[in-house]
Amino acid sequence: MLEITALQIAMVFVGVGIGLIFGALPGLTATMAVACFLPFTYAYDLATSLYLLIGLYVGGINGGLIPSILINIPGTPSSICTVFDGYPMARRGEAVRALRIAITSSLIGGVIGLICLWLFAPPLARLALSFSAVEKFLIILFALSIVAALSKGNMITGVFMGFLGVLVSLVGAFADNNTMRMVPGFLRVELRGGIPLLPVIIGLFAFVQMMEEAEKGMKDEKFSLDLQHQTKNFSIRDFADQKINTLRSGLLGVFIGVLPGIGGSAASLLSYSQSKNFSKHPEQYGTGYPGGVIASETANSGMIGGALVPVLSLGIPGDSTTAVMMGAFMLQGVQLGPLFLSNHISLWRSILIAVLIATIIMFIIMFYPIKYISKIIQIPKNRIYPAVILLCTIGAFTSRNGNMFDVWITVVFGICGYIFTKLKLPVVPFLIGFILGGDLEKYFVDSIKGSGGSLLPFFTRPMAWVIWFLILLSIGWAIYDNIRTKKGNRLNLNKAIQ
């Protein structure tokens, strides 16, 4: 029987609360919240740590709805479509109604995502247990083809960044013969075991954001909407004619979450567009229609459960936040993948319970005192951001028991990430390539050893054919979508010129 301790409940409560702050403050994200607090997991066992991280994830994703509705700025990328109808509702005196519709939608989406996680992760893991090193290599290659090819209009750039991440992950000693690769002589000791994951995560997702905000000057927007006098209150009847929209949006969010590397913004956009296409009143979308808020927020919460499916069953991150969360498992020596669910049953159950508790706590914290919670967006950035930088520095320093070299790695990758953003190079494909690169090499080498140096098993095994078909399908769709996006951009440019 699984026991839930008071400490674990406190951890998820603290995680949701801090996550809400990160999600509600434009410029901070759920990924940054998890990256900043990842070093704190050293002090606890993995189960307790996951309560904190999942709380941060759930709180960070849902906190983004507050600025989206109140000040027309998406708090997180996953709340981008909440702006379209949430802010018009707020402007006509329905801010609290819009907030409570969004919060209730997040609760429903979270439950849908949890049910799908519970149903789909175990059978997917059982299927993966029959995979040899060949299939495992091809699965990772498939994940990289999806991740890298989803940079709309910049397919080649996405492919380049994904495999650049793989290349960087190979820095260090080759396991089979202990040969050092891509390491200058004066760093042979520090990089013998490769580049550590945690400083890379903190650099790419926390330091980069801090530098971008510093560049903007951290100007504080004024919060001016009146939440005390509302023209229309929330009612459960707001969902009366939105049942199909709610269910469809939640399932779409799960589907997008399962696909590696796509992220919450795609879930929100796809759900919103489908909701509008199937609506009897498409003309009302964008004018303050509750269905638009429901579609966006149900989808981005459903994505949370979906994104955890490939992480736990295949060891492949579903989005940038779950990629960071994988670091917690790696830091504590737990291998994610097909054997995880069967070897760590209690931990699997803890994850399910943590997601459920975090979703419920998120609803309780936000729904009733939302008028007061909304004041989070008034916290001055010039006070909270220095604290975030301090957390990042301490986290990097303590990641390997007080190693200053890791702080320098954080700074270097922070600068690299900042350059990536200036050159419009996607960071997520790079990170996921970095995380999966070691396994990609390991399974390729194991496959070659098992076949005596032959490449035939990559093309003769029946399951390999299926995965190759998926890889080719992914690449084919990416090429088609890349061409279509470029044509659309050219048409828009011509219209603008005319």
Contact 439, 136 (CB under 8 A): yes
Burial class (CB in 10 A: 0-12, 13-18, 19+), 406: buried
Residue 151 has pLDDT above 70, yes or no: no
pLDDT of amino acid 261: 57
pLDDT of res. 357: 93
Q: What pLDDT does residue 104 have?
A: 92
Question: Mind listing the pLDDT tens digit for each residue in 79-106?
Answer: 878 888 888 888 888 888 888 999 999 9
Q: What is the DSSP letter of 93?
A: T
Angle at 379 between CA 395 and CA 59, to 5 degrees: 60
| Of 219 and 172, the one with more pLDDT | 172
260 vs 257: CA distance, rounded Å: 7
Q: What is the mean pLDDT of residues 383-387?
A: 75
* Residue 224 confidence class, pLDDT cut points 50, 70, 90: low
Average pLDDT for 373-378: 73
Please give the average per-residue pLDDT across 16-43, as a whole number.
80
Residue with the larger pLDDT of the pair 216 and 148: 216
Alpha carbons 78 and 303: distance in angstroms, whole number = 9
More confident residue, 199 or 177: 199
pLDDT, the chain, mean: 80
Residue 391 pLDDT greater than 80, yes or no: no
Q: How many CA atoms lie within 13 A of 184 on its CB side?
A: 2
Going by pLDDT thresholds of 50, 70 and 90, the confidence category of residue 153 is low
Specify whether the CB–CB gap between 378 and 227 falls below 8 A: no
**What separation in angstroms does the CA of 205 have from each of 214, 220, 224, 358, 415?**
15, 22, 30, 23, 11
Q: Where residue 215 falls among pLDDT bands split at 50, 70, 90?
A: confident
| Rounded Cα–Cα distance for residues 275 and 361 (Å) | 28
Supply the pLDDT for residue 13. 92
209 half-sphere exposure, CB direction, 13 A CA radius = 25
Residue 452 falls in which region: left (phi positive, over 0), alpha (psi -120 to 50) or beta: left
In this predicted structure, what is the pLDDT of residue 359?
93
SS3 254: helix
Of the two residues 475 and 361, the one the predictor is more confident about is 361
